[in-house]
Chain A
Amino acid sequence: MIILNGEETANMAGKTLADLLQEKTDMMQNVVVELNGKIMHREELEKQTLSENDHVELISFVGGG
């Protein structure tokens, strides 16, 4: 179990952040991933595997300015 945007989410430990993004968003380019309080840069997403109790925030941006 991991904590995703404040909610307990099952069956994610062991997967990569890239897998998580694929599963949870269809606008990957608009999203930045924060893992345990640290921004994960694009090139790290494929390599970084999720562990039990990880806190993940998907910071999603919308257009307009």
Chain B
Amino acid sequence: MTPKFQGVAVNDFFMGMKERNVAGTTEPLQNARVTIAGAGGLGSNIAIALARSGVGHLTIIDFDTIEMSNLNRQQYKVSQVGMPKVVALKQNLLEFNPFIDIEIHQVEITPDNIETLFADCDIVCEAFDNPMAKAMLLDGVTNYYPDKPLVMGNGMAGLHITNEMQTKQQLSNVYICGDGYSKGPEGLMAPRVMVCAGHEANAILRLLTEQPVLAE
């Protein structure tokens, strides 16, 4: 029997997706595995973009629970305050695309579990808030998985003009998105966080469809 969700058959869903997705992307994305480190402003927006695009296997890692102060930019609802972010995000993602496989881990990422947590994915997506954690992940992922693409976010705070945000190639397989300077304490608001998340998600989709991230 064809799998259905709320009366929608998987085939109808993918037909609808194919109508508007870039031609030829649906199949490669269906088989792709992306692991997202962090489910805050960046991670929740990136996950939604990837789920809507049809990335077939998402793993989301975050230790935190949802607070009121997250709702200004993170893709959660008032009704989800207090829930673990990974549980709420999975719930929300499955409403946008019920036909993908979503694995969640409510753990803190440390130098000791990086090797295990990122063993299975094609691409690592960094979506932390904490700069020390960003540095720790770059160090750890390039140590254990030097050939695995790593897409990161760095600098999306304040209300600075969005044109200052870019995707840059740092190493042969490390890409860093953002303005590189704006810091969290000046305030974080939905639009710039979403722009940075969009940069990261698009870089990931280009990698998964075998297009160079930074050349047309």
Q: Are B132 and A30 in contact (CB under 8 A)?
A: yes
Of residues 148 to 202 in B, which have CB atoms within 8 Å of A's CB atoms? 153-157, 170-172, 176, 180-185, 188, 193
Residues on A with beta carbons closer than 8 Å to the beta carbon of B132 = 29-30, 61
A39-B148 Cα distance, complex, nearest whole Å: 14
> Is B185 a contact partner of A63 (Cβ separation < 8 A)?
yes
Known contacts A34-B170, A34-B171; A62 and B131 CB within 8 A of each other = yes
Number of interface residues of A (CB under 8 A): 18
Q: Does B139 contact A (CB under 8 A)?
A: yes
Q: How far is the CA of A23 from the CA of B45 in the complex (A)?
A: 37
- Contact, CB under 8 Å: A65 / B139: no
Known: A34-B170, A34-B171, A59-B170. A64 touches B188 (CB 8 A): yes
Number of A-B contacts (CB under 8 A): 76
Enumerate chain B residues within 8 angstroms of A30, measured Cβ to Cβ. 131-132, 134-135
| A37 CA to B154 CA, complexed, in Å | 19
Which segment, of B1-9, B25-33, B36-44, B95-103, faces chain A? B36-44
Q: Is B143 in contact with chain A by the CB < 8 A criterion?
A: yes
Within 8 Å CB of B176, what residues of A?
59
Bound Cα distance A30, B188 (Å):
19
- In the complex, per-residue mask of B79-94: 1 if CB is within 8 Å of any chain A CB, else 0: 0000000000000000
Contacts of B155 in A (CB 8 A): 62, 64
Is there an interface contact between B135 and A29, defined as CB atoms closer than 8 Å? Answer: yes
Given contacts A41-B142, A65-B38, 13 further A-B contacts (CB under 8 A): A34-B170, A34-B171, A59-B135, A59-B138, A59-B176, A62-B180, A63-B130, A63-B131, A64-B129, A64-B155, A65-B41, A65-B42, A65-B156
Sort A-B residue pairs by CB-CB distance and give the 8 closest, nearest first: A63-B184, A64-B184, A61-B131, A65-B129, A30-B131, A61-B134, A65-B42, A39-B142
Where the two chains meet, the residues of B that have a C-beta atom closer than 8 Å to any C-beta of A are 38, 40-43, 127-132, 134-135, 138-139, 142-143, 153-157, 170-172, 176, 180-185, 188, 193
6 example contacts (A-B, Cβ-Cβ < 8 A) are as follows: A29-B131, A63-B183, A64-B156, A64-B157, A64-B182, A65-B153
